């Protein structure tokens, strides 16, 4: 058997470089380099005794990490939009010889041979097909979302042009902005626009009589959200669908005339359709790995549980994993942490014949924090309903949680490297 220094590095493929993908990468690098991992706050736990050679490759269609939680603010603020997208090359924590990244889309994964086929971007819209062999893989590619729930762009430059166009349309909307869809994204967009431009009339149109109607959350949370939105002077039209968006005639200065299903008519200069549409991004996997909706079936240890070969080398974390609870960035990072710990345990067992001990997820009840401009509202089983500064500071601060996520993942710190 080769000594540990001659042992070829374990090749780990991380599909998706957002909350789950970066959390998995950095926690795994910590453990393999012989440190306690960054998300482990348990003072009784010790650093691993052994180092493990590892080479982690992150594949993402985007050229950087995008703080998608902040998009409701980015669509109305160029300054925040610019902060929220960091190219992978500009993230200090990723500049380690143990970590590399490929800009490209994973197209298919063969679990048996453990080879991923990647459509790699070669710049200027060119691409080439490459194959990447791996020992372990973590699927962290989340959900495919449409604007305004996600940018269409895959590069920072194109994204900044996309958000600048949106900012301009909002700033020029003297006759008002209408946001369609009273789910979490529509609510946050309406509230952030009103905060950025208090003089602009902002109307939220929702087809049901209750906001957040598709979320399994207590009525008191939904009612509090409605109360705080109203207090912040967002106008609400409930129980009506948008049927038609027409160009307004010359009798008004507004650009658009909106016809609603209850006969109401609204004028606006800008309309944002925030009715959420999303699909899991698991099409690169054999369908046996997924549930009927396309979410990856996992064990409580984050390992694939569907009928595929080499399950013990395949993991999923974040929005793409089939687990209880509302999809959240915090949950994605937590799952990725556990996936990293469990993979590291398997590596140690393979190299040093140690007995692995695994971290297991527990069932998660529905919970949510919503940013509402100057304020916020939250419902958590342990805290119940809360709103105001406490919730805003805990989850969002002034940048919709960008700094909180950045610091929690320690993206701004160099990843120490000890050979």
Ligand X SMILES: Cc1cc2nc3c(=O)[nH]c(=O)nc-3n(C[C@H](O)[C@H](O)[C@H](O)COP(=O)(O)OP(=O)(O)OC[C@H]3O[C@@H](n4cnc5c(N)ncnc54)[C@H](O)[C@@H]3O)c2cc1C
| Contacts to ligand X by CB under 6 A | 15-21, 59-62, 68-69, 71-72, 105-106, 140-143, 145, 149-150, 185, 281, 284, 318-319, 327-330, 332, 369
Q: Closer to ligand X at the Cβ: 146 or 171?
A: 146
Instruction: HSE, CB side, 13 Å, CA atoms: give it for residue 69.
Output: 24
- Taking Cα atoms as reference points, which of 399, 365, 347 lies closest to residue 192? 399
Vertex 408 angle, CA 407 and 412, to 5°: 35
398 alpha carbon, distance to own chain's centre: 19
- In the chain, DSSP finds a helix count (H) and a strand count (E) of 9, 23
Q: Closer to ligand X at the Cβ: 105 or 206?
A: 105
CB of 330 vs ligand X, minimal distance in Å: 5
CB of 68 vs ligand X, minimal distance in Å: 5
Residue with tokens 């990647």: 118
CB of 263 vs ligand X, minimal distance in Å: 31
CB of 104 vs ligand X, minimal distance in Å: 7
CB of 406 vs ligand X, minimal distance in Å: 14
Read off the DSSP letter of residue 310: T
CB of 237 vs ligand X, minimal distance in Å: 21
State the CB neighbour count (10 A cutoff) for residue 169: 17
Strand order through the sheet with 270-273: 235-238, 202-206, 177-180, 270-273
Report how far residue 337's alpha carbon sits from residue 28's, in angstroms, rounded to the nearest whole number: 8
CB of 185 vs ligand X, minimal distance in Å: 4
Q: Closer to ligand X at the Cβ: 69 or 93?
A: 69
- Taking Cα atoms as reference points, which of 91, 37, 96, 102 lies closest to residue 67? 91
Q: Closer to ligand X at the Cβ: 11 or 327?
A: 327
Q: Closer to ligand X at the Cβ: 141 or 163?
A: 141
Q: Closer to ligand X at the Cβ: 50 or 128?
A: 128
Cβ(282)–Cβ(294) under 8 Å? yes
Q: Closer to ligand X at the Cβ: 140 or 248?
A: 140
Question: Whose CB is nearest to ligand X?
Answer: 318
The CA-based diameter of the chain, rounded to the nearest angstrom, is 84
Q: Specify the pairing of strand 64-66 against strand 265-268.
A: unpaired
Residues whose CB falls within 8 Å of the CB of residue 155, separated by 6 or more in sequence, listed in order: 62, 63
């Amino acid at each position: 058997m080769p000594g540990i220094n001659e042992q070829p590095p374990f090749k780990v493929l991380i599909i998706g470089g957002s909350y789950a993908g970066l959390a998995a990468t950095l926690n795994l690098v910590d453990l393999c380099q012989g440190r306690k991992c960054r998300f482990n706050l348990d003072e009784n736990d010790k650093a691993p005794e052994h180092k493990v050679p590892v080479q982690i490759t992150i594949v993402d269609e985007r050229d950087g990490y995008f703080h998608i939680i902040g998009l409701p603010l980015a669509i109305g603020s160029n300054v925040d939009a610019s902060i929220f997208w960091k190219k992978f090359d500009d993230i200090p924590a990723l500049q380690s010889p143990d970590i590399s990244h490929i800009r490209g889309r994973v197209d298919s994964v063969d679990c048996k041979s453990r080879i991923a086929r990647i459509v790699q971007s070669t710049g200027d819209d060119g691409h080439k097909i490459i194959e990447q062999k791996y020992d372990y893989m973590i699927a962290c590619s989340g959900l495919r979302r449409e604007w305004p729930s996600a940018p269409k762009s895959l590069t920072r430059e194109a994204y900044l042009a996309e958000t600048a166009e949106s900012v301009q349309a909002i700033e020029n909307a003297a006759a008002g902005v209408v946001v369609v869809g009273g789910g979490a994204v529509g609510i946050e967009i309406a509230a952030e626009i009103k905060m950025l431009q208090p003089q602009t009339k902002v109307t939220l149109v929702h087809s049901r009589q209750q906001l957040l109607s598709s979320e399994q959350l207590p009525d008191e949370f939904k009612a509090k959200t409605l109360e705080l939105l109203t207090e912040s002077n967002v106008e609400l039209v409930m129980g009506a669908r948008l049927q038609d968006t027409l160009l307004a005639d010359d009798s008004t200065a507004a650009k658009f005339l909106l016809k609603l299903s209850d006969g109401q008519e609204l004028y606006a200069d800008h309309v944002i359709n925030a009715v959420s549409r999303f699909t899991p991004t698991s099409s690169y996997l054999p369908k046996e790995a997924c549930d009927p909706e396309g979410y990856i079936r996992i064990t409580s240890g984050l390992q694939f549980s569907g009928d595929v070969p080499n399950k013990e080398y395949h993991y999923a974390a974040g929005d793409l994993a089939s687990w209880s609870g509302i999809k959240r960035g915090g949950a994605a990072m937590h799952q990725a942490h556990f996936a990293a710990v469990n993979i590291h345990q398997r590596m140690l067992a393979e190299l040093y014949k140690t007995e692995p001990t695994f971290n297991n997820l527990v069932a998660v009840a529905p919970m949510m924090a919503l940013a509402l401009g100057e304020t916020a509202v939250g419902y958590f089983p342990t805290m119940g309903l809360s709103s105001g500064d406490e919730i805003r500071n805990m989850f969002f601060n002034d940048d919709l949680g960008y700094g909180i996520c950045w610091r929690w993942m320690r993206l701004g710190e160099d990843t120490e490297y000890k050979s």
